[in-house]
Structure 1
Amino acid sequence: MATKAIDPSDRYTKVAVILHWLIAILIIGQLAGGIYMHNLPATTWKFEIYQWHKSFGIMVLLLSLARLGWRLTHKTPALPDGMKGWEKLAARFTHIAFYFLIIAVPLAGWLMVSASPYDLPTVLFKLVPWPHLPGIPQDAALEGIFKELHEIMAFAIIGLLVLHVGAALKHHFINRDGVLTRMIPILSKRG
C-alpha cells in the first residue's frame, strides 16, 4: 500500500546529490578493484593497481569528509510520514553507518600503508606524493590489523549497499512515495 507521497520540492540539494553519486561510483569501483587486486601475484601491474586504489581511496576520503560537512550544515528532506518507526530507525542507522564506513575504510587503508614495513610511497594519480600518517610505527603486525579492519569494513559497505539499494527500490516501486526521486531527480514519481 502506498504511503503518503512526500512533497516533490523536498529534495536533496544539488551538491548533496552530486556528492552522493560521485562517492557511490567511486566506492563501487574501489570494492571491485579491491576484490580483483587482492590475490594478484606481486608484479608491477599489482603495484600499479594498488597506486590507483590508494589514489581513489584518498579521493573517497576527502569527498566523504566534504559530504559529511555538507550534511551537517544543510537540512535533509524529511522521511515520509507513512514510514513505520522501525523503518525510520533502520534508515537513520544505515545513513550513520555509511558515513562512518566511507570515512573509516579509506582511513584504515591509509593507516595500513603507513604501518607497512615496506614503506612504499603513495603518489596520487601519478602526480601528487601523499604522506604516510605521522606517528604510525612501521610494523607488520600493526599493518595486518589495519588490513583486516579495512577488509571487514569494506564487506560491511557491500552489505549496506545491498540494504540501501533494496530500500530505495522498495520506496520507489512498492511505497511509491517519491523517496528515490529526491536523490535521482530525473525519475518521475510513479503514480
Structure 2
Amino acid sequence: MMLRNSADRWGPVSQLLHWLIVLLILGLGVVGLVMVELPKSPRWFWVYDLHKSFGLTVLALVVVRLLWRWFAGAPKPVAGTPRVQERVATITHVLLYVLTFAVPLSGWIYDSLSGLRPLRWFGQFKVPKLADPSQTLAPVMRDTHEWLFWALIALVAVHAAAAFYHHLFQHDDTLARMLPRRRRAASPDPSPVPEIH
C-alpha cells in the first residue's frame, strides 16, 4: 500500500489525519458550546479538562499533518481546474491550516492567562503554561479563541460546499481523492468452461 500522496490523490495517512482532525474539531465545537452553560462543579472541571486535552491533540495533529505534507507532497490540481479556482483553493487551504493551528493555540494561551489549575493532558502529564495569569488579557483571549473558532467553522463550511459542488456538478475527483479508494470487484474469469460430452 502506498502511504505517501500521489500526483492524483491523497494517500491514506493524509486522509486519516484530515478526517480525524475534522471529527475532533466538530466534537470540540459542540462540547465548547455546551460546557459554557454548565454550572461549576467537578463535572465542569472534567469537561473543561477533556476539551483542553482534545484541543492540544488537534494542535499536535496539525503539526504532524504539516510535516507529513512536507514529506509526502500533495496531489496536483485536478485536470481542467481553472487557474483562479486553483489560487482560491490554495488560499483556502493555507487559511484552514492557520486557523486549525490558531484555534487550539489560542485556547492554550487563554487557559494560561485564566490562572486555572494546571492541566494534565488526559490525566497523564502536566501541560506547561504559556503566559502568566492576567485578569485583563484572559477575557480578550477567550473572545479571540471563540471568534477564531467561528471563522474556522465558516471556512470549513465553504471548503466542504466547494468539495460537494465539484463532486455533484463538476463530476471531478476533488472530493473522491480525499476518500479511501474503493476496491474493484473481481473480474470474471475469461477462460472458457470446457464442455462435458
TM-score category (smaller protein): 0.7 to 0.9
Does residue 168 (structure 1) correspond to residue 163 (structure 2)? The answer is: yes
| Aligned counterpart for 1:46 among listed residues 25, 29, 44 | 44
Counterpart residue type for residue 87 of structure 1: Q
Structure 1 position 180, deviation (Å): 1.0
Counterpart residue type for residue 43 of structure 1: S
Q: Which residue of 2 aligns with 1:27?
A: 25
Structure 1 position 9, deviation (Å): 6.8
Does the 8 Å contact 1:181/1:187 carry over to 2?
A: no
Instruction: Return the alpha-carbon distance in structure 1 between the equivalents of residues 47 and 65 of structure 2.
Output: 26
Counterpart residue type for residue 90 of structure 2: R
Q: CA RMSD in A?
A: 1.7
Instruction: Return the alpha-carbon distance in structure 2 between the equivalents of residues 187 and 35 of structure 1.
Output: 37
Q: Which residue of 2 aligns with 1:127?
A: 124
Residue identity (%): 36
Structure 1 position 42, deviation (Å): 1.7
Instruction: Return the alpha-carbon distance in structure 1 between the equivalents of residues 182 and 36 of structure 2.
Output: 37
Instruction: Return the alpha-carbon distance in structure 2 between the equivalents of residues 124 and 92 of structure 1.
Output: 33
Structure 1 position 154, deviation (Å): 0.3
Q: Bigger radius of gyration, 1 or 2?
A: 2
Instruction: Return the alpha-carbon distance in structure 1 between the equivalents of residues 154 and 182 of structure 2.
Output: 25
Q: Which residue of 2 aligns with 1:101?
A: 99
Q: Return closer, same or farther for 1:90/1:187 CA change in 2, 3 Å cut-off.
A: farther
4+ residue stretches of structure 1 with deviation over 3 A? none
Q: What's the TM-score, normalizing by structure 2?
A: 0.84
Could you tell me which runs of 5 or more consecutive residues in structure 1 were left unpaired when the two chains were aligned: 1-7
Structure 1 position 111, deviation (Å): 0.5
Structure 1 position 50, deviation (Å): 0.4
Q: What's the TM-score, normalizing by structure 1?
A: 0.87
Q: Which residue of 1 aligns with 2:152?
A: 157
Instruction: Return the alpha-carbon distance in structure 2 between the equivalents of residues 171 and 121 of structure 1.
Output: 46
Does the 8 Å contact 2:8/2:78 carry over to 1?
A: no
Does residue 71 (structure 1) correspond to residue 57 (structure 2)? The answer is: no
Structure 1 position 187, deviation (Å): 5.6
Does residue 13 (structure 1) correspond to residue 11 (structure 2)? The answer is: yes
Secondary structure, aligned partner of 2:175: helix
Does the 8 Å contact 1:16/1:71 carry over to 2?
A: yes
Q: Determine which structure has greater relative contact order: mean sequence separation of CA pairs < 8 Å that are 6+ residues apart, divided by chain length.
A: 1
